[in-house]
Structure 1
Amino acid sequence: MTFETVQADASAFDGPALFATMATMRAMRRLKPDAVPDETLDQLIQAAVWGPSGGNMQCYEYVVVTDREVMARLAPLWKRCVDAYLATTGRHAPDGMDDAAYGRMVAAIEYQRDHFADTPALVIPCYRFPEPRFDEEGLGVYAEALGPAGLEHMTDTRTRFQALAEGSCVYPGVQNLLLAARALGLAANITIWHLMLEREWKEALGIPADTHTFAAVPVGWPQGNFGPVRRRPVADVVHGNHW
């Protein structure tokens, strides 16, 4: 797939403050080693908690790592995951992406990998979705509502539904956290590379085996400057009324 990206429209800066925040929320991977105050990290988690939660169940938990010794123990895990990720993406930009921009992104990822032990804070969003409750009456309503096609694919549908249901309860909060970080002048970026070694990460952080992790978000004060993001034009991604 080939596509062009454009810099965020300057008109965004004339609208609500939130629009300007979103339009300049680059993934910032080069962090200063300076500590982030606990009260500031609490603000980020508060923003995350304000995110929507399916059924308002609020079954999320957040592991916030600030201890340098713990971060140093996590650094080798991070390196293994990043190296595996980079091995699958290659050193050259995908079709349609600017080679120079792609190279800068890879360089930033490698910098973060090599300086991970100096990361001021790391946030791990977690969620444990309750088991679905199906009784005979509920199964009957399910079958009537969806018909034979729904029953035929019931197992696959439930598996996919539960995975997406968990994610939909977590990722809005993560986006709130990223927006709050940008508004407070902090650099942050969402990653899921840790999932390649999720068991080891959970063991290192004491996360229960039956609790899923959904991201690893490094947070700190940026070395560089925020600036307009480059994204595909709206007209290229909208399908009016049908595909």
Structure 2
Amino acid sequence: MTDASAVPEDPALFSTMSTMRAMRRIKPDPVPEAVLDQLVQAAVWGPSGGNMQCFEYVVVTDREVMARLAPLWERCVNAYLATTGKHAPEGMDGAAYGRMVDAIEYQRDHFAETPALVIPCYSFPPPRIDAEGIRVSAEALGPVAAARQADPSAQVRFHALAEGSCVYPGVQNLLLAARGLGLAANITIWHLMLEREWKAELGIPEGINTFAVIPVGYPVGNFGPVRRRSVREVVHRDGW
């Protein structure tokens, strides 16, 4: 009989997750193409809404392309540091935040030397809901919720979150795979401030949305334990 009160041993994956820092200082040494394929394979194994698998991954390793992207990265980082990233979040140690900013600036200043970038993309196919389907859906939700869901702002939010839910689990798989293979990687979305320019530089079609720019390479520093809030601070059992 299984003891429901027993706490199972932590699987090896837990130690990987607990030491998966955002590593922004990376060496210029190239990452083998086969290793980058492993990262994308890990991402593809992630869940996808309706199993539609409408994701695509742009992988950049060409130095000339990276050099053209570097000014865009610099503009996005500077815009972030001037606004959202200007001050440490409430409760965060100022010195720790300063070290993070130093790492962000280091990555900005050495971006052209980044050995690899992965840009996850996604675009839902056109919806195939007929009038009868809309009627049945509204009936299931009820008149108040159906009207709320029909609001354009609600549709925009739902669509964005639906696409994100099909992309970001794969991104987390990629980050875990990178850590497991001894690679530094971190997820960023600053490029969205200049997404049109990034897409134009990379030839990404207009109807395809980008969800992150992930620099990948071998770390300059060492992996170590992450600093996060405790479970007791964040859990609300059976309600808020």
Q: TM-score, normalised by structure 1?
A: 0.92
**Given the alignment, which residue of 153, 163, 166 partners 2:160?**
163
CA displacement, residues 60-118 of structure 1 (integer Å, 9 cap, x when unaligned): 00000000000000000000000000001354323211000000000000000000000
2:77 is the counterpart of 1:78: no
Give the structure 1 partner of residue 103 of structure 2: 108
Aligned residue type for 1:210: G
Distance (whole Å) between structure 2 residues aligned to residue 122 and residue 75 of structure 1: 12
Distance (whole Å) between structure 2 residues aligned to residue 137 and residue 91 of structure 1: 51
Q: Per the alignment, in what secondary structure is the counterpart of residue 204 of structure 1?
A: helix
Give the structure 2 partner of residue 187 of structure 1: 184
Aligned residue type for 1:149: V
Query: Displacement, 1:149?
Result: 1.1
Distance (whole Å) between structure 1 residues aligned to residue 106 and residue 38 of structure 2: 27
Aligned residue type for 1:170: V
Query: Displacement, 1:148?
Result: 1.2
2:20 is the counterpart of 1:18: no
Query: Displacement, 1:160?
Result: 1.6
Distance (whole Å) between structure 2 residues aligned to residue 89 and residue 126 of structure 1: 24
CA RMSD of aligned residues (A): 1.0
CA displacement, residues 7-40 of structure 1 (integer Å, 9 cap, x when unaligned): xxxxxxx621100000000000000000000000
Distance (whole Å) between structure 1 residues aligned to residue 231 and residue 191 of structure 2: 31
Map 1:61-210 onto structure 2 (within 5 A): 61-153=56-148, 154-155=150-151, 156-210=153-207
CA displacement, residues 117-173 of structure 1 (integer Å, 9 cap, x when unaligned): 000000000001122222111011011101111222113333221111100000000
Distance (whole Å) between structure 2 residues aligned to residue 26 and residue 111 of structure 1: 16
Map 1:30-45 onto structure 2 (within 5 A): 30-45=25-40
Q: How many equivalent residue pairs?
A: 230
Deviates more, 1:141-150 or 1:66-75: 141-150
Distance (whole Å) between structure 1 residues aligned to residue 91 and residue 191 of structure 2: 28
Unaligned 5+ runs, structure 2: 1-8
Deviates more, 1:75-84 or 1:135-144: 135-144
**Given the alignment, which residue of 225, 230, 235 partners 1:233?**
230
Distance (whole Å) between structure 2 residues aligned to residue 89 and residue 138 of structure 1: 42
Distance (whole Å) between structure 2 residues aligned to residue 97 and residue 55 of structure 1: 39
Identity percentage of aligned residues: 77
Q: TM-score, normalised by structure 2?
A: 0.94
Q: Per the alignment, in what secondary structure is the counterpart of residue 230 of structure 1?
A: coil
